[in-house]
């Protein structure tokens, strides 16, 4: 069995003690991190390597940043979506233990109709095109990360309040749905079909965590080869409640390998 997690850490240096404790306690085999918010040379490699993890980075000062942590060798690393010019560090892909995995930080989009929103839709189009290529490879594929999209109203604590707002607008949802229509499986929804409260993000403001005002915007999307190995997926909610927590909780899937 292999355990794969995706987690928007919301600053690796701020959250490092939390991450190290979590790695020791949960022992994931592969971790896909987003919003590391640091350059590669400032990433705290030594502390993580001391826990027997290999590391691959695509970092950026202050903003964005993605990383892969693995107990196995990391090979064939790709930083950035091929063919998509992007100054922001939002994508890293590699082969680990025969699996092709990617850590993805989809742009938030800020506000529907804004320039940042248009950038988000372009990013999704580029991700779609690259995913089509990846699915032609004869290997299991896991595209994990913070997609900044709640797929359906079931994934939103108050669908009426969020109707057509950022993270829940129709074009964003169609962008995510287009990936699923390529043949990917939403692993969390696959193992928890109609369950409510499967949230992965709670705003720091307005008592969102205390009132469970959450959204499900972090996803592990699996190719058919990977989905055939899927045993379970869960949200590690308790870590969201600790002091200095990220506003996201990890999503963890188990594959029978």
* pLDDT of res. 29: 98
**Domain ranges across the chain:** 2-255
Q: How far is CA 197 from CA 33, 140, 194, in A?
A: 23, 29, 10
Q: Indicate the average pLDDT of the chain.
A: 97
Q: What pLDDT, on the 0 to 100 scale, is given for residue 47?
A: 97
Are 74 and 48 in contact by the 8 Å Cβ rule? The answer is: no
Separation in Å, CA 52 to CA 29, 83, 122, 242 = 10, 33, 37, 25
The three state secondary structure string of 151-193 is CCHHHECCHHHHCCCCCCCHHHHHHHHHHHHCCCEEHHHHHCC
pTM for the structure as a whole: 0.98
Out of 29, 146, 155, 186, the active site residue is 146
| Residue 150: φ, ψ to 5° | -90, 115
What percentage of the chain has pLDDT greater than the value 70? 100
Question: CA separation (Å) from 99 to 90, 117, 138, 223?
Answer: 20, 32, 10, 10
User: How do residues 78-134 score in pLDDT, each as one tens digit?
Assistant: 999 999 999 999 999 999 999 999 999 999 999 999 999 999 999 999 999 999 999
Mean pLDDT value of segment 56-65: 97
Inter-CA distances, 149 with 85, 112, 200, Å: 22, 12, 11
CA distance 62 to 35: 9
- The yes-or-no answer on residue 146 being catalytic is yes
Candidate list 53, 105, 117, 157, residue with the active-site label: 105
Is domain 2-255 in CATH 3.40.50.300, yes or no?
A: no
Q: What is the pLDDT of residue 204?
A: 95
Res. 138: pLDDT tops 90: no
> Distances from the Cα of 79 to the Cαs of 96, 148, 171, in angstroms?
15, 20, 26
The verdict on whether 155 is a catalytic residue reads: no
């Amino acid at each position: 069995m292999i355990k794969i997690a995706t987690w928007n850490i919301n600053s690796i240096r701020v959250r490092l003690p939390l991450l190290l404790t979590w790695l020791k306690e949960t022992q994931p085999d592969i971790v896909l991190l987003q919003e590391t918010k640091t350059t590669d040379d400032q990433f705290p490699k030594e502390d993580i390597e001391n826990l027997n993890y290999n590391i691959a980075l695509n970092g950026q000062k202050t903003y964005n940043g993605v990383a892969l942590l693995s107990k196995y060798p990391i090979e064939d690393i790709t930083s950035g979506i091929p063919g998509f010019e992007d100054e922001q560090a939002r994508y890293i892909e590699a082969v680990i233990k025969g699996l092709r995995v990617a850590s993805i930080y989809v742009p938030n989009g800020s506000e529907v109709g804004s320039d940042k929103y248009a950038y988000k839709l372009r990013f999704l189009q580029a991700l779609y095109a690259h995913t089509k290529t990846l699915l032609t490879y004869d290997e299991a594929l896991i595209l994990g990360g913070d997609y900044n999209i709640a797929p359906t109203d079931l994934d939103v604590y108050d669908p009426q309040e969020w109707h057509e707002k950022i993270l829940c607008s129709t074009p964003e949802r169609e962008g995510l749905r287009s990936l699923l229509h390529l043949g990917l499986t939403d692993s969390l929804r696959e193992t928890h079909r109609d369950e409510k409260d499967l949230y992965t993000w709670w705003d720091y403001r307005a008592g969102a965590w205390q009132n469970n005002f959450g959204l499900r915007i972090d996803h592990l999307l699996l190719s058919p080869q990977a989905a055939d190995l899927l045993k379970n997926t869960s949200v590690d909610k308790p870590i969201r409640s600790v002091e200095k927590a990220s506003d996201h909780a990890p999503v963890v899937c188990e594959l029978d390998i």
